Amino acid sequence: MTNQTNQAIDAVLQEQSVSARLGLEVSDWLLPLSNLVYLQSLNAKYAKIISKSFATFEDLITDLESVNNADELAMAVVQNLSDSLMRSLPASGQAKLINSFQDTVHALAKLDASTVTIIARIFDTSDRLAGPKYGAQTTASSVNNLMAKLVTANAKDQDAFVVYDPTAGEGLSLLSVYQLLSKKAHISLVGTDVKTSTLLRAKMLLSLLPSESTALDLKSANVLEPRMKQSFLQADMVVCDPPYSLMWHANDEFLKDPRFAPAGVLPPRSKADFAFVLDGLANLKDGGTMVIRLPHGVLFRGSSEAKIRQYLIDENLIDAVIGLPANLSYTTAIPTMLLVLRKNRKRKEILFIDASDEFEKSSTNGANTLPEASIKKILETYTRYKGHKGYSHVASPEEVSSANGNLNIPRYVDTYTPPADIPLKELDEQITAYQSKIIELQARSNDVMSKYR
C-alpha cells in the first residue's frame, strides 16, 4: 500500500464526504461506506443495486437483502450496514446521502487500487477520526507497518506460513504481515476478537485476499478465558496489540491452563498484559517470532509480573525491547513499547532501542506517527543487532541479571545529552550582565520602598 495510493483514496474520501457530513458524522459515514465497497466488489447483482436510485436507505437495504444465493458473510455485511445506518440516519435528506455513498463507491472503483487496499484505508481513516467510539481495537497504520516488518525480519523462505493475532480487531495487523510475505507461499491468517462487529470487519477485509493461497480462521473468542484443553497453533509469527492493563478474572484454576502454567504465576487481575504474551508464546512454534505492543510498566513492575518477566529471561525468549513515541495510538496517548520474542534463539543478549523521539506530528488529529525513515532506522538496528550511543544497546545476560530482571529501557540506553560548553569569557560576560541587572533592580526596589517609610 503505497503513499501515493493512500493519497488518492484520501482525496476521494475528502471530496465525497462533504455532502455526507450534512447528515452524518464522518466516522458514522465511513464504516457503512466500507460495507458498500465490499458488496460492490462481490458480484454484479450487488453492484447493480448499489447503482440504482433510492428514496430511502430502507429501500436500498430491502433490495440488498433480496439477492439470492448470498453467502453468510455477505448477509452479515448487509445486516451490519442496516444496523449502522438505522442507528445514525437523519429523518430527511436520505436520497442525497444515498447519492453521496454511490458517488464515492464509484469514484473509489475507478482508482488503481485493490478493494482490500481501499477498505483497509477506510478502516484506518475511520479509526483515526473516531478513536474508541466504535469499541474497535485499533492500531495506527505506521505501528502496524513497523510490527509487520519486525515479525517478518527473521522469516525464511518456506511453502507455508501461519500468522496469529489474538486481538485481531479489524484485521489490519494480519493484513500488514500478509503483505510482506512471499505470495508464492500459502498463508494462514488466524485471529480472535471479543467483539463480533469488529471481527466482521476483519472477515470482510481479509476474505478479499486470494482464496487459492490464503486460509482464514477468524473467531469470536476471549483469550483471557481459561482453556484447559487446547491444541496450540504452532504459528510462525504472532503479532498483537492488546488492550493495555486490562482487568481480567484470573484465579488459581488458570494455573492449570497450559498457556499460563509454565510461568508458575498469573499476571495480576488488574493488568492482563502478560496474559496476552503467554497466550501468544503458547501458540508460537519453535523458531517463530512474536511482536507485541504493551505499556512500559511490564518492563519494571514487581510482584507476579516480575516473576513472569524473569521466566521470559530465563527461557531466553526476549530478543528486543523497543521504546516507541507517546501518542501513537488512536485511542490513548500513553507511551508504549514493542517486545520482540523468539523461541529457540541462539544469542543470549537483549537489544534495547529507544525510539521515543522518532515521530512526526499528524496533520489531521494531532497524534504522532512513525515516519518511514524512523521505521527503517528501527528495523536496521534490530536486524544488525548493534548498539548506537543514545539510541540502542545490546545488554549481556550479566547486565540484565545485575538489574534483577528490570528491563526498563533508560537503564540500558542513556539518551542524556549534556549541555554545550560555554566559553569562560562568554560566561563571565553573562555573570557581569546579571550582576548589573540585580543592582539596577535593587535600586528601583529601594526607591519604591522609600516612599512608604
What is the rounded distance in angstroms from the CA atom of residue 452 to the CA atom of residue 287?
83
Range of the domain at 352: 141-411
Q: 102, 118, 134: which is the final residue of a domain?
A: 134
Of 104, 134, 164, the position where a domain reaches its end is 134
Indicate if 198 and 311 belong to the same structural domain: yes
Asked if 165 and 130 sit in the same domain, the reply is no
Spatial separation of the C-alpha atoms in residues 191 and 333, rounded to whole Å: 26
Instruction: Report DSSP state, residue 20.
Output: H
Whether the CB-CB separation of 45 and 67 falls below 8 Å is answered with yes
3-state secondary structure of 353: strand
Vertex 354, ends 348 and 357: CA angle to 5°? 165
* Residues 383 and 401 occupy one common structural domain: yes
Domain count, the chain: 2
CATH code where residue 314 lies: 3.40.50.150
Burial class (CB in 10 A: 0-12, 13-18, 19+), 194: middle
Q: Is residue 61 part of a domain?
A: yes
Among 134, 162, 188, residue at a domain's last position = 134
- Rounded to two decimals, the pTM is 0.88
SS (H, E, C) 152-198: CCCCCCCCEEEEEECCCCCCHHHHHHHCCCCCCCEEEEEEEECCHHH
DSSP letter (8 states) at residue 386? -
Q: Identify whether residues 218 and 355 lie together within a single domain.
A: yes
Looking at the domain assignment, is residue 436 inside a domain?
Answer: no
- Is 57 within the bounds of a domain? yes
Same domain, 275 and 381: yes
Q: Does residue 37 share a domain with residue 174?
A: no
What would the grid cell of residue 130 be?
A: 473516531
Beta strands in 317-373 (DSSP E): 318-323, 336-342, 350-354, 360-361, 368-369
In a shared domain, residues 300 and 406 = yes
Specify the residue for cell string 480472535. 192
Distance CA 356, CA 337 (A): 9
- The label of the residue with cell 519604591 reads 448
The number of helix segments (H) and strand segments (E) in the chain equals 15, 11
Per the CB < 8 A criterion, the answer to whether 16 and 111 are in contact is no
Q: Which pLDDT tens digits describe the chain residue by residue (453 residues)?
A: 577 888 899 888 887 666 555 566 666 788 899 999 999 999 999 999 999 999 888 999 999 999 988 799 999 999 999 988 877 676 667 888 888 889 899 999 999 999 999 999 999 888 877 655 544 447 888 999 999 999 999 888 899 999 999 999 999 999 999 999 977 899 999 999 999 989 999 999 999 999 999 999 999 999 999 887 778 899 999 999 999 999 999 888 899 999 999 999 999 999 999 999 999 999 999 999 999 999 999 999 999 999 999 999 999 999 999 999 988 877 677 889 999 999 999 999 999 999 998 878 766 556 788 899 999 999 999 999 999 999 999 999 999 999 999 999 999 998 767 777 778 888 788 888 888 889 888 888 888 888 776
Q: 395 and 256 share a domain?
A: yes
Q: Are residues 105 and 172 in the same domain?
A: no
Backbone phi and psi for residue 187, each to the nearest 5 degrees, phi listed first = -120, 125
Instruction: Determine, yes or no, domain membership for 51.
Output: yes
